[in-house]
Amino acid sequence: MGFLKRRDRSSYRDATPAGSQSSFKDITEQQLDEHLGIARYGSFLLTDAVRPAFDLAVVPSAGWRHNVYQDQETGIKVPVIMAAQTREKLFDLFIDLLDPLGEEVDVVLETSHDMDHELHNDLYREAFDRPILQSILLDYEDMLLNDGCCGIAVLNSRIPMEVQFDEHKQLIMYGHDLDPFIDILHDHGLYESETLRFISEAEHIHSTTDDNAELFRELTYRLGVDQD
């Protein structure tokens, strides 16, 4: 069922950068419906989780680029890779990117279901067997791809390395040695572009459904995450 057909039972929100005017402000309902109905941009197919701004400030495309994350408390800088992949290939890439994390990992599920704009809740589970985790996540592939109010991070703090599959359905990799991730990205046909921009870097719309919210709750029980 398509993005538009699910709108009656969907929750969707406009994420507009602070100080910016929404490009959706003066458009008609028909223009909105037509825009939200577009999933393919060239060879890149979006999931149902997110749509770009009406003015297409960022046109979705596949690739990856380097970045740097700086911890606000410690000032420590950590190398980062951000990646985007077309829907047909995205989840297989995510699953493979977990391999360098080792046999035992920690899991963080992020949810913004039933929460105000830009608020979310993190649910934790430590010391999970990585192959078993990958198997469970495959059972929830459709929900994880298409729910714009959930994300997941998998990490090994002992290495340290982390892979995030965020609510924009972008992949973010942290670590001082990013070469294993780069090898996997290349194996999946993704290549570096320092000019690449991501859908999260401009105005965009998130979407979810009641069914996906229920499946997310089911996943939390399967993983035994901390609900506090």
What is the per-residue DSSP string for 40-57?
EETTEE--TTEEE-TT-S
Q: Report the pLDDT value the prediction gives residue 176, as an integer from 0 to 100.
A: 87
Q: Which domain holds residue 117?
A: 63-198+212-223
Would 17 be classed as within a structural domain? no
Model pTM?
A: 0.90
Would 53 be classed as within a structural domain? no
Q: Report the pLDDT value the prediction gives residue 9, as an integer from 0 to 100.
A: 34
Q: Report the pLDDT value the prediction gives residue 204, as an integer from 0 to 100.
A: 92
Q: Report the pLDDT value the prediction gives residue 125, as an integer from 0 to 100.
A: 96
Q: Report the pLDDT value the prediction gives residue 7, as an integer from 0 to 100.
A: 36
Would 1 be classed as within a structural domain? no
Give the chain's domain count: 1
Would 89 be classed as within a structural domain? yes
Q: Which amino acid is residue 196, in one-letter code?
A: L
Would 44 be classed as within a structural domain? no
Q: Report the pLDDT value the prediction gives residue 116, as an integer from 0 to 100.
A: 57
Would 114 be classed as within a structural domain? yes
Q: Report the pLDDT value the prediction gives residue 12, as an integer from 0 to 100.
A: 54
What is the SS3 assignment for 8? helix
Terminal-to-terminal C-alpha distance of the chain: 34
The pair phi, psi for residue 57, each rounded to 5°, is: -60, -30
Would 87 be classed as within a structural domain? yes
pLDDT in tens, the chain (228 residues): 233 323 333 445 556 666 678 898 889 999 999 999 999 999 999 999 999 999 999 999 999 999 988 888 888 888 999 999 999 999 999 999 999 999 999 999 999 887 555 567 899 999 999 999 999 999 999 999 999 999 999 999 999 999 999 999 999 999 989 999 999 999 999 999 999 999 999 999 999 999 999 999 999 999 998 765
Among 79, 77, 76, 46, CA closest to 182? 79
Would 207 be classed as within a structural domain? no
